Amino acid sequence: MRMSQFFNQTLRESPSEAQTPGTEFLIRAGYIRQLAAGIFTIMPLGKKSITRIENILRQEMNRIGGQELSMPIVLPAEIWKESGRWYQIGAEMARFKDRNGREMVLAMTHEEVVADLVRREIRSYKQLPRLIYQIQTKFRDDPRPRAGLIRVREFTMKDSYSLDRDWQGLEKQYQAHYQAYFTIFRRCGLEVISVQADTGMMGGKVAHEFMFLNPFGEDTIIFCPACGYTANRQVAQFHKPVQPAEAEKERVLVHTPARKTIEDLAEYLNITASQTAKAVFLMATLVQGEQEKQEVIMAIVRGDMELNETKLAHAIHASDLRPATEEEILAIGAQPGYASPIGLEKGIIVVDDLIPQTANLVAGANRVDYHFTNVNYGRDYTAKIITDIAAAHAGDACPHCQQPLQAQRGIEVGNIFQLGTHYSDAFGCTFQDENGDLQPVVMGSYGIGIGRLLACVAESHHDDNGLIMPVSITPFLVHLIVLPSKNSSRPLETAEALYQQLTQARIDVLYDDRQESPGVKFKDADLIGIPLRITVSEKGLVNDSVEFKLRHEQDRSLVALDEILTKIMQATLILDRQIAQTIKEEKYLG
């Protein structure tokens, strides 16, 4: 491709919508352009890289038995109602009516479509196991799109679905995806870790996320360097320190003027935060059949801990949580800033499992400027649910070995879910076993966001001057630059001949034949980040040579014209081998 004819344009200034270095370079180099918040055009450079990523995905999915299909983007609401997710998913789902008034949605994922296919196609155990996948557009109306392709509303995803006759078969396909995902990411030049994850709106029992560790990530990964425990903070557990056992004391009402926070209360009473109970109020959306119900939730954790809203949402089966307003708190008989579960008859009380193990806590009295000391669970109040709802932090003890946990930010680039019979039960997806009995199909779901993967590669592979694209997903292999001479036509003639030679050898070449200064051409080459650069100039041609440079290195060398094809092949082989050496067998920890 000649740059004089190329649709892409490079930018000198950092665009305002770029919130990370990788996003800045993808926009400035012309890989992507923003149309609206969370909606991007993939430009020719970006499209070529995306296509190479998709080909890697196809190769690895086919390697584990996948069969590619393509499912619709526009889906009838009926199948989402059948699964129940129509009522569980909020404004993220784009809903509309067709001209006949039928309710429709834009696909945000395709489990329902797969389940509908399975009940139509699968009849016998002889048809199992199966693995199907697609590379398809999705739409989720994310309220906070950010950082270019990292968090968008419209995106392309590789989503695959395994179909098995039992849980052992699902486990086998799950492990195959676990290994395949590591292979895919490393072939694309991205190092990731796997973490235990929340099943979220997908349902099912087990989930893992594949995380690219990066300070711009929105997820917090909790991990133990000592034993290897790793989990998304949404579901991370930790060893909770239990206070020394003591006898229950008489409850006492104490005056605590203007002490609304745990910190102020502990300082005023000369106690530690761990001797208090923290009340957090949220308004939960609970789905009962086809009906939604709003309930005020009073969640109680020990004062030295934070509430984990994801754990709480799972405990009460809430489709949505938001902070309760002061009016909503007062409406159930609680007093904001001095709230207490004692005597509360409205709302739902949920307590962390550490609360019943901790005696004589200080808690609110539902009276302005007053708290109770020596509050004890069971004697003074009870809860509808007792479970782990506390958030893990760096420094907490590992749940397995009790060594200090650490935390790091990460970006989710893939996920895998053991759905089990969650959708099969809802859709009646059954097969006839060897004995003629009907059994539910056991399903798994597995996704990789392709644009986000490209964005994470950009975050991982750049320097101060621009992108450094991995050879496996680069839009072009060679960036050919010609520096015309006023004294001779030979540089142009040589560059043209070299361009034709490389093209005939089926080498992808971006040929900078523009009438621009050498500085502009070199800056654009660094910005775009193609692995190999060849510069044809009058100076080099004195020795019948051209300049050869690797994007990730500073060194340049002169290579004879009749040896340049061999040099390209050798350099490409080395770069390919470097990527291949990163691929190894991963131990699935379950």
Give per-residue pLDDT as tens, 256-271.
Answer: 999 999 999 999 999 9
Do residues 60 and 188 both lie within one domain? yes
CATH number at residue 181: 3.30.930.10
Three-state DSSP class for 126?
Answer: helix
Q: Return the pLDDT at 90.
A: 82
Q: Return the pLDDT at 184.
A: 98
Instruction: Give the range of the structural domain holding residue 539, as residue numbers without chain letter.
Output: 476-580
Q: Which helix (H) or strand (E) holds 521?
A: helix 518-528
For residue 98, being part of any structural domain is answered with: no
Q: What number of other Cβ atoms are within 10 A of residue 418's Cβ?
A: 22
Q: What are phi and psi of 197, to 5 degrees?
A: -140, 170
CATH number at residue 495: 3.40.50.800
Q: Which helix (H) or strand (E) holds 287?
A: strand 277-288
Do residues 448 and 498 both lie within one domain? no
What tokens does 470 get? Answer: 């991995």
For residue 396, being part of any structural domain is answered with: no
Residues 132, 135, 138, 142, CA torsion sign: positive
Contacts of 425-428 spanning 24+ positions with Cβ under 8 A = 426/82, 426/83, 426/84, 426/115, 427/79, 427/82, 427/83, 427/112, 427/115, 427/116, 427/118, 427/119, 428/119
For residue 383, being part of any structural domain is answered with: yes
Do residues 61 and 163 both lie within one domain? yes
For residue 305, being part of any structural domain is answered with: yes
CATH number at residue 316: 3.90.960.10
Q: Return the pLDDT at 586.
A: 87
> DSSP assignment of 445-483, as one string?
EEEEEHHHHHHHHHHHSEETTEE---TTT-S-SEEEEEE
Q: Quote the CA–CA distance of 349 and 389 in Å, as a whole number.
A: 12
Domain count of the fold of the chain: 3
Please tell me what DSSP assigns to residue 361.
Answer: E
Do residues 350 and 452 both lie within one domain? no
Q: Quote the CA–CA distance of 457 and 154 in Å, as a whole number.
A: 19
Cα distances (angstroms) measured from residue 425 to each of 115, 316, 485: 10, 22, 73
Do residues 527 and 450 both lie within one domain? no
For residue 468, being part of any structural domain is answered with: no
For residue 13, being part of any structural domain is answered with: yes
Do residues 45 and 132 both lie within one domain? yes
Do residues 21 and 115 both lie within one domain? yes
Q: Return the pLDDT at 235.
A: 87
Cis peptide before 215 (omega within 30 of 0): no
Do residues 227 and 301 both lie within one domain? no
Each residue's pLDDT tens digit, 189-232: 999 999 887 766 555 678 899 999 999 888 899 999 998 888 88
Q: Return the pLDDT at 317.
A: 85
Do residues 452 and 507 both lie within one domain? no
Q: Return the pLDDT at 143.
A: 85
Do residues 286 and 221 both lie within one domain? no
Do residues 37 and 182 both lie within one domain? yes
Q: Quote the CA–CA distance of 292 and 245 in Å, as a whole number.
A: 42
| 8 Å CB contact between 513 and 478 | no
Do residues 420 and 544 both lie within one domain? no
Beta-carbon-side half-sphere exposure of residue 29 (alpha carbons within 13 Å): 32
| SS3 letters across 135-188 | EEEEECCCCCCECHHHECCEEEEEEEEEEECCHHHHHHHHHHHHHHHHHHHHHC
Spans of the chain below 70 pLDDT: 199-204, 289-290, 589-590
Tell how far CA 48 is from the center of its chain. 23
Q: Dmax of the chain from CA atoms?
A: 100
For residue 16, being part of any structural domain is answered with: yes
Single out the residue of 224, 220, 589, 221 nearest to residue 397, CA to CA.
224
For residue 88, being part of any structural domain is answered with: no
For tokens 């190329």, name the residue: 6
In terms of pTM, does the model score above 0.85? yes
| 8 Å CB contact between 502 and 480 | yes
Contacts of 23 (CB under 8 A, 6+ apart): 17, 147, 148, 149, 150, 455, 458, 459
Q: Quote the CA–CA distance of 427 and 424 in Å, as a whole number.
A: 5
